């Protein structure tokens, strides 16, 4: 089917990035959140990121204005019902996601495709709670969305081929590359990435190295652009812990046991960049390791 209108649930870091790339690609976007403040901040971030593209000569000032003009906001979730495509980008909690899809259900158009930007939760299970499991998919963008080129497409057990083909075409129109993943815990990227981060936290926990030496080792020794602990802070330690718990619960393999130190940081509210402290303290001019 031809996708023209896109509704996005959640105006956080992922939601505003998804809105940015869809509007840039010519889609009419409606961004929803429960907080007016979040919507206002989200539009300001999109404006700032577009202005950066203008300053670098990647787009014109006119392109920026047209892109912003394609984005509208709403506090009313059900306003998204008639959209051709809905992308849920709320917090990584299955109960929250289920409530969103349940509230949307009676207001959906017959053509609407439902998707979730979940980084780890079962697509089959989420889809089964809706009236259209055959028109439901995982649509997992990487952070930061305007920069990262990959999108994971995850089919649930009931997802039909026309839905998959439609979203594959959408990814192409966005100028990104699709990777097809089967519906197993954490899919491809996070199945590999987050256990590596968890192992880096164990390396810190066991005193093998400190924060700086672990990150330097992986940046200079393995040519990673960011160290694993720096990356964990960027992703959010609560998100990393949630993904590890999904892997541990879903695969029942002790190698996916979350490191107790990761749990302790989350319990302390030290979630990384978004909270000002994680494995680094970001409250000063320069990030400082916390261990």
Residues annotated as catalytic are 119, 140, 152, 190
Binding-site residues, in ranges, read 10-15, 33, 92, 97, 119, 143, 274
| Cis-peptide, bond into residue 144, ω within 30° of zero | yes
All residues at 6 or more sequence positions from 6 whose CB lies less than 8 Å from its CB, including other chains: 22, 27, 28, 29, 30, 83, 84, 85, 86, 87
Q: What is the strand order of the sheet 85-88 is part of?
A: 71-74, 28-32, 5-9, 85-88, 113-116, 136-141, 150-155, 177-181
Binding-site residues for NAD(+), in ranges, read 10-15, 33, 92, 97, 119, 143, 274
Q: What is the DSSP letter of 211?
A: H
What's the CA gap between 252 and 256, in Å, rounded? 8
Tokens at residue 275, please? 């909270």
Phi, psi of 118 (to 5 degrees): -50, 145
Which spans in the chain are helix H? 13-24, 36-55, 61-69, 94-104, 123-128, 161-173, 189-205, 211-221, 228-235, 237-251, 260-267
How many residues does this entry show for the chain? 291
Rg of the chain, C-alpha, whole Å? 19
Torsion 168-169-172-174 (CA) sign: negative
């Amino acid at each position: 089917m031809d996708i023209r209108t896109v509704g996005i649930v959640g105006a956080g870091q992922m939601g505003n990035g998804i809105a940015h790339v869809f509007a840039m690609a010519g889609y009419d976007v409606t961004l929803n959140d429960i907080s007016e403040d979040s919507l206002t901040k989200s539009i300001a971030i999109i404006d700032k990121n577009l202005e950066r593209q203008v300053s670098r000569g990647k787009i014109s000032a006119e392109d920026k204005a047209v892109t912003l003009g394609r984005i509208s906001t709403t506090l009313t979730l059900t306003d998204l019902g008639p959209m051709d495509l809905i992308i849920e980008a709320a917090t990584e909690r299955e109960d929250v996601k289920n409530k969103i899809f349940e509230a949307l259900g009676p207001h959906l158009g017959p053509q609407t495709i439902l998707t979730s930007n979940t980084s780890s939760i079962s697509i089959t299970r989420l889809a089964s709670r809706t009236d259209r499991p055959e028109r439901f998919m995982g649509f997992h963008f990487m952070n930061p969305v305007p920069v990262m080129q990959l999108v994971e497409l995850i089919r649930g057990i009931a997802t039909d081929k026309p839905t998959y083909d439609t979203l594959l075409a959408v990814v192409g129109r966005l100028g990104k590359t699709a990777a097809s993943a089967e519906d197993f815990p954490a899919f491809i990227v996070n199945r590999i990435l987050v256990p590596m981060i968890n192992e880096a936290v164990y390396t810190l926990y066991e005193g093998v190295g400190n924060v700086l030496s672990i990150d330097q080792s992986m940046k200079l020794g393995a040519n990673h652009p960011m160290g694993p602990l720096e990356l964990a802070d960027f992703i959010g330690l609560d998100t990393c812990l949630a993904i590890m718990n999904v892997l541990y619960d879903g695969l029942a393999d002790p190698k996916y046991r979350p490191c107790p130190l990761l749990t302790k940081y989350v319990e302390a509210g030290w979630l990384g960049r978004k909270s000002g402290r994680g494995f680094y303290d970001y409250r000063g001019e320069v990030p400082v390791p916390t261990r």
